[in-house]
Amino acid sequence: MGRLWRYPVKSMAGEALEHCRVEQRVGIPGDRGWALRDEQAGEIRGAKKIPRLLQLGARYREEPTGERVPPVEIRLPDGELIGSDDAEVSARLSQELGRTLTLCARRPADDLDHYRRAEKIEDLESEMRAASELLPEESVPKFEEFAPELLEFVSPPGTYFDGFELHVLTSASLAEFASRAPGCGIDARRFRPNVVIATDPSLRGFPEFDWCGRQLRIGDCLGEVVMPMLRCGMTIQAQAELQKDPRIMRALVRETDMTLGVGVAVVEAGAMQLGDAVEIL
């Protein structure tokens, strides 16, 4: 295994880890433990709707365990730091992002109103087109595995995930996609994986697509590879030293049916660390 990432605040830059424990339902403890509620829109929102979020970063002040969500320190684009426990944090983030926002820690799954969309999605294709910034001539892929609850809720209640506890990507897929999108500045950070598996440099293509329906063991953690990860317009947005580049979405549509990496459901909790062997069962 090559890299481990956790994203304390949904859609903000994350923090690299050397080791972690992985749990059912929450994935890596603290991953997407916080999110921003857009009070004007009336729902939790991320960088699909507020792209500038990607230019902010966050890290935990103490290590999360289980479902506990400790305070975070947020780094603004100018380098200013502000804590989630600062009384002015929501006002400062609202000022920075130009929206009336409230920073929220993850809430229990039975708090359905917290996770509910302001308006239920009635036209999924139109929603996906807007989120992925597709051109009129580009088609929306069909996914039988799409969770119906995401038409009503912005994330599976009890989480701020887009759908899966872990997102896994291989170095082979990154290299292959970079070769098919020359000059686009392909970087793992654009795709926000939790785990980047370092594969043999001679391996070509997108190997993790072939793992769907199989189980994956990393360290002591066992997961089920559910489906390819559908990419959205977040991949093209500016972050850190990476510039906005709409050509990335053109390449995703053309080369991978808008997917890269895979979503993984945790079957058995366990520890993982950099350098762990990876086994496909």
Q: Please write the tens of the pLDDT for every residue from 45-65.
A: 999 999 999 999 999 999 999
Averaged pLDDT, 113-133: 91
pLDDT value of position 145: 64
pTM, two decimal places: 0.94
CA distance 274 to 270: 14
Q: Please write the tens of the pLDDT for every residue from 135-162.
A: 999 988 876 666 788 899 999 999 999 8
In a 3-state reduction of DSSP, which class is residue 261?
Answer: strand
C-alpha angle with apex 13: 258 to 259, nearest 5 degrees?
A: 10
Q: Please write the tens of the pLDDT for every residue from 226-280.
A: 999 999 999 999 998 999 999 999 999 999 999 999 999 999 999 999 999 999 9
Strand residues in the chain grouped as ranges (E): 3-6, 15-17, 19-22, 34-38, 43-45, 57-60, 72-75, 81-83, 101-105, 166-170, 195-197, 215-218, 221-230, 259-268, 270-273, 278-280
Supply the Cα-derived Rg of the chain in whole angstroms.
18
Around 249, how many Cα atoms within 13 Å sit in the side-chain half-sphere? 21
Strand residues in 178-220 grouped as ranges (E): 195-197, 215-218
User: Do residues 32 and 160 lie in contact, with contact meaning Cβ atoms separated by under 8 Å?
Assistant: yes
- Mean pLDDT lowest for which of 32-36, 43-47, 137-141, 176-180? 137-141
Exposure of 5 by Cβ count < 10 A (0-12 exposed, 13-18 middle, 19+ buried)?
A: buried
CA distance 266 to 253: 29
Structure-token pair, residue 104: 């929220």
Pairing label, strands 195-197, 166-170: parallel
Q: Is 154 left (phi over 0), alpha (psi -120 to 50) or beta?
A: alpha
pLDDT value of position 131: 87
Quick one: which of 3, 19, 281 has its CA closest to 169?
3
Q: In DSSP terms, which residues pair with 170 in a beta bridge? A: 197
Structure-token pair, residue 173: 């897929």
C-alpha distances out from residue 104 to 148, 153, 154, Å: 24, 16, 14
